[in-house]
Amino acid sequence: MVGALAVAALAAGAVVAVPADTAEAAGPSGGKGGAKVVYLTFDDGPSPAYTPRILSILDRYGVRATFFELGENVAAHPSLTAQVARQGHSVQNHSWSHPDLRRLSGSSFNAQVGDTDRAIRARAGHTPTCLRPPYGAVNGTVRSRAAALGKQVVLWSVDPADWSRPGAAAIRSRVLDNVRPGSVILLHDGGGDRSQTAAALPTILSTLKARGYRFATLC
């Protein structure tokens, strides 16, 4: 969703958060040798209505993505989380129930992140290494608590606000007009009607492929 921060994927593969207004200067050069890599990410799932549809589009284009899932949705639809992982995508932590992590006590933070870790590990077979805070809401406390749990905080650099349902054409153009090597693209497979996101996806993938981009998982 809306955030004042953006991420820069460093050549070494590390991802750090930087203020959006400095993202350009400090931002990704596209990895080693300026490789044209983009990172597709999907938040707020899994969702029985949209995750399978998005998975089938990704599969058709041979693209791997990173899914930041909510623990409560993993618990409700565990077979979907297993399917996401089985199809070669990375499943990562987006908290249990989408709170603003800045407002939580230490024990609540640890429950939100730790319970989600356990739910994902049980279904995806790996423990998330990355945490995307809901709303991109981060501060020093969130960062230090995440680090204490071994989590890297990951945000994004291209946000077409697909969750606000601006129309598939707007989602497509907002992505395609702003993407550059190293971009982390924020999309949503859960949290509401994501039919526009699914409708926008094939053209986004085919256009980026035609521009010479390859797709990688973030974490």
Annotated catalytic residue 188: yes
Residues from 40 through 59 that contact Zn ion (CB under 5 A): 43-44
Distance, CA of 50 to chain centre? 15
* H helical segments located in 61-105: 71-76, 78-86
Q: Which of residues 43 and 145 has its CB atom nearest to Zn ion in the complex?
A: 43
Residue of 110, 117, 115 lying closest to 92 (CA atoms): 117
Q: What's the min distance (Å) between Cβ of 196 and Zn ion?
A: 16
Catalytic residue (choose from 98, 188, 189, 193): 188
Q: Which stretch binds Zn ion (CB under 5 A): 14-22, 36-44, 147-155, 209-217?
A: 36-44
* Bond from prior residue into 46 cis (ω within 30 degrees of 0): yes
CB 134 within 8 A of CB 146: no
Provide, rounded to whole angstroms, the least separation between the CB of residue 210 and Zn ion. 30
Binding of Zn ion at residue 69 (CB under 5 A)?
A: no
Question: Residue 103 contacts by C-beta under 8 Å, 6 or more apart in sequence?
Answer: none
Catalytic residue from among 43, 44, 117, 159: 43
Whether 43 is catalytic: yes
Give contact residues for Zn ion (rule: CB under 5 A).
Answer: 43-44, 134
